[in-house]
Structure 1
Amino acid sequence: MASANTSWSEENFSCSICLDVFSSPVSTPCGHNFCRTCITKFWDEQVKYKCPVCNELFNTRPDLRVNILISEMVDRFGTSLRVKEQPCVEPAEVPCDVCTGTQLKAVKSCLMCLTSYCQSHLEPHHRVAGLKKHRLVEPMDRLDDRMCKKHDRLLELFCKTEQVCVCQLCTVTDHKSHPVIPLKEEYEVKTAQLGKIEAEVKQLILERQNNIQEIKDTVKRSKADADREIADGVQVLNALMRCIEKCQDDLNQMVKEKLKSTEKQAEDLIKELEQEIEDLTNRSSEVKQLSHTEDHLHFLQAFRSLKDPPPTRDWTTVEVCPPSYVGTLRRSLDQLEETLNMEMKKLRDDGELKGVQQYEVDVTLDPDTAHPWLILSEDGKQVHDGGVRKRLPGNPRRFKRRMFILTRQSFSSGRFYFEVQVKDKTGWWLGVARESIARKGWSTWTPENGYWALLSNKDGLVLSNSPSVSHPRRAELQKVGVFVDYDEGLVSFYDVEARVHLYSATGCTFSEPLYPLLSPGFSDYGGNNSAPLIISPVNQTD
Structure 2
Amino acid sequence: MACINAPWSEENFSCSICLDVFSSPVSTPCGHNFCRTCITKYWDEQVKYKCPVCNELFNTRPDLRVNILFSEMVDRFGTSVRVKEQPCVEPAEVPCDVCTGTQLKAVKSCLVCFTSYCQTHLEPHQRVARLQKHRLVEPMDRLEDRMCMKHDRLLELFCQTEQVCVCWYCTETDHKSHPVVPLKEEYDMKTAQLGKIEAEFQQMIWERKLKIKEIKDTVEMSKKDADREIADGLQVITALMRCIEKCQDDLNQMVKERLKSTEKQAEDLIKELEQEIEDLTNRSSEVKQLSHTKDHLHFLLAFRSLKNPPPTREWTIVEVRPPSFVGTLRRSLGQLEETLIMEMKKLHDAELKSVQQYEVDVTLDPDTAHPKLILSEDGKQVHDGGVEKKLPDNPKRFTSKFYVLTRQSLSSGRFYFVVQVKDKTAWCLGVARESIDRGGGIVVTLENGYWTLYYDKDGLVFRDNPDVRLPLRAELQKVGVFVDYDEGLVSFYDVEARVHLYSATGCTFSEPLYPILNPCNYAFKGDNSAPLIISPVSQTD
Report 1:466-477 matches (<5 A): none
Partner of 2:52: 52
Judging changes above 3 Å, is the alpha-carbon distance between structure 1 residues 331 and 56 closer, same or farther for their aligned structure 2 residues? same
Is the Cα–Cα contact under 8 Å of residues 240 and 340 in structure 2 kept in the other structure?
yes
Partner of 1:343: 343
Is the Cα–Cα contact under 8 Å of residues 89 and 106 in structure 1 kept in the other structure?
no
How far off is 1:212 after superposition? 5.5
Is the Cα–Cα contact under 8 Å of residues 265 and 320 in structure 1 kept in the other structure?
yes
Partner of 1:63: 63
For the pair 1:148 / 2:148, whether they are aligned, the reply is yes
Is the Cα–Cα contact under 8 Å of residues 160 and 179 in structure 2 kept in the other structure?
yes
- Amino acid paired to 1:151: H
| Aligned equivalents of 2:99, 2:532: Cα separation in 1 | 85
Is the Cα–Cα contact under 8 Å of residues 52 and 98 in structure 2 kept in the other structure?
no
Q: Name the SS of the counterpart of 2:271 in structure 1.
A: helix
Report 1:176-215 matches (<5 A): 179-200=179-200, 202-203=202-203
* CA deviation vs aligned residue, 1:200-221 (integer Å, no higher than 9, x gap): 5555555555556555555555
Is the Cα–Cα contact under 8 Å of residues 148 and 166 in structure 2 kept in the other structure?
yes
Report 1:58-97 matches (<5 A): 58-64=58-64, 84=85, 86-90=87-91, 92-97=92-97
| Aligned equivalents of 1:15, 1:349: Cα separation in 2 | 96
Is the Cα–Cα contact under 8 Å of residues 88 and 103 in structure 2 kept in the other structure?
no
For the pair 1:509 / 2:522, whether they are aligned, the reply is no
| Aligned equivalents of 1:13, 1:294: Cα separation in 2 | 182
Q: Name the SS of the counterpart of 1:316 in structure 2.
A: helix
Is the Cα–Cα contact under 8 Å of residues 50 and 58 in structure 1 kept in the other structure?
yes
| Aligned equivalents of 1:262, 1:82: Cα separation in 2 | 130
* CA deviation vs aligned residue, 1:406-448 (integer Å, no higher than 9, x gap): xxxxx9789xxxxxxxxxxxxxxxxxxx9xxxxxxxxxxxxxx
Partner of 2:33: 32
Q: Name the SS of the counterpart of 1:268 in structure 2.
A: helix
Is the Cα–Cα contact under 8 Å of residues 236 and 347 in structure 1 kept in the other structure?
no
| Aligned equivalents of 1:341, 1:117: Cα separation in 2 | 95
How far off is 1:318 after superposition? 1.6
How far off is 1:493 after superposition? 9.1
How far off is 1:349 after superposition? 1.8
Judging changes above 3 Å, is the alpha-carbon distance between structure 1 residues 126 and 304 closer, same or farther for their aligned structure 2 residues? farther
Q: Name the SS of the counterpart of 2:96 in structure 1.
A: coil
| Aligned equivalents of 2:13, 2:349: Cα separation in 1 | 96
Is the Cα–Cα contact under 8 Å of residues 412 and 486 in structure 1 kept in the other structure?
no
Partner of 2:139: 139
Judging changes above 3 Å, is the alpha-carbon distance between structure 1 residues 291 and 100 closer, same or farther for their aligned structure 2 residues? farther
Judging changes above 3 Å, is the alpha-carbon distance between structure 1 residues 65 and 216 closer, same or farther for their aligned structure 2 residues? farther
Q: Note the aligned Cα RMSD (angstroms).
A: 5.6
TM-score, normalised to structure 2, is: 0.53
Report 1:12-411 matches (<5 A): 16-19=16-19, 28-29=28-29, 30-34=31-35, 36=37, 38-44=38-44, 46=46, 48-64=48-64, 84=85, 86-90=87-91, 92-100=92-100, 103-118=103-118, 120-122=120-122, 124-125=124-125, 131=131, 134-160=134-160, 163-172=163-172, 175=175, 179-200=179-200, 202-203=202-203, 228-284=228-284, 306=306, 309-353=309-353
Is the Cα–Cα contact under 8 Å of residues 97 and 117 in structure 2 kept in the other structure?
yes
Is there any run of 5+ residues in structure 2 with no aligned partner, and where?
Answer: 364-377, 379-419, 424-479, 484-489, 501-530
Is the Cα–Cα contact under 8 Å of residues 239 and 343 in structure 1 kept in the other structure?
no
Is there any run of 5+ residues in structure 1 with no aligned partner, and where?
Answer: 360-410, 415-433, 435-463, 468-483, 495-499, 519-542
* CA deviation vs aligned residue, 1:441-495 (integer Å, no higher than 9, x gap): xxxxxxxxxxxxxxxxxxxxxxx9978xxxxxxxxxxxxxxxx99999x99999x
Partner of 1:530: none
| Aligned equivalents of 2:157, 2:25: Cα separation in 1 | 45
How far off is 1:160 after superposition? 4.6
Is the Cα–Cα contact under 8 Å of residues 89 and 103 in structure 1 kept in the other structure?
no
Partner of 1:376: none
Judging changes above 3 Å, is the alpha-carbon distance between structure 1 residues 351 and 236 closer, same or farther for their aligned structure 2 residues? farther
- Amino acid paired to 1:60: T
Report 1:425-440 matches (<5 A): none
Judging changes above 3 Å, is the alpha-carbon distance between structure 1 residues 502 and 130 closer, same or farther for their aligned structure 2 residues? same
Is the Cα–Cα contact under 8 Å of residues 21 and 83 in structure 1 kept in the other structure?
no
| Aligned equivalents of 1:67, 1:253: Cα separation in 2 | 131
How far off is 1:50 after superposition? 2.6
| Aligned equivalents of 2:339, 2:41: Cα separation in 1 | 99
Q: Name the SS of the counterpart of 1:509 in structure 2.
A: strand
How far off is 1:108 after superposition? 3.7
Q: Name the SS of the counterpart of 1:260 in structure 2.
A: helix
Q: Name the SS of the counterpart of 2:260 in structure 1.
A: helix
Judging changes above 3 Å, is the alpha-carbon distance between structure 1 residues 501 and 122 closer, same or farther for their aligned structure 2 residues? farther
Judging changes above 3 Å, is the alpha-carbon distance between structure 1 residues 283 and 120 closer, same or farther for their aligned structure 2 residues? farther
Is the Cα–Cα contact under 8 Å of residues 240 and 339 in structure 2 kept in the other structure?
no
How far off is 1:507 after superposition? 6.3
- Amino acid paired to 2:112: M
How far off is 1:103 after superposition? 4.6
How far off is 1:226 after superposition? 5.1
How far off is 1:343 after superposition? 1.6
Judging changes above 3 Å, is the alpha-carbon distance between structure 1 residues 89 and 345 closer, same or farther for their aligned structure 2 residues? same
Is the Cα–Cα contact under 8 Å of residues 32 and 53 in structure 2 kept in the other structure?
no
- Amino acid paired to 2:257: E
| Aligned equivalents of 1:15, 1:271: Cα separation in 2 | 143
Q: How many residues are paired up?
A: 390
Identical aligned residues as a percent:
71
How far off is 1:229 after superposition? 4.8
With 319-328 and 238-247 compared, the bigger mean Cα shift is at 238-247
Judging changes above 3 Å, is the alpha-carbon distance between structure 1 residues 326 and 466 closer, same or farther for their aligned structure 2 residues? closer
Partner of 1:394: none
| Aligned equivalents of 1:248, 1:214: Cα separation in 2 | 49
Is the Cα–Cα contact under 8 Å of residues 355 and 482 in structure 2 kept in the other structure?
no
| Aligned equivalents of 1:344, 1:115: Cα separation in 2 | 89
Is the Cα–Cα contact under 8 Å of residues 413 and 486 in structure 1 kept in the other structure?
no
With 182-191 and 195-204 compared, the bigger mean Cα shift is at 195-204
With 12-21 and 56-65 compared, the bigger mean Cα shift is at 12-21
How far off is 1:20 after superposition? 6.7
How far off is 1:172 after superposition? 4.9
Judging changes above 3 Å, is the alpha-carbon distance between structure 1 residues 485 and 218 closer, same or farther for their aligned structure 2 residues? farther
| Aligned equivalents of 1:24, 1:317: Cα separation in 2 | 151
Is the Cα–Cα contact under 8 Å of residues 110 and 134 in structure 2 kept in the other structure?
yes
Q: Name the SS of the counterpart of 1:33 in structure 2.
A: strand
TM-score, normalised to structure 1, is: 0.53
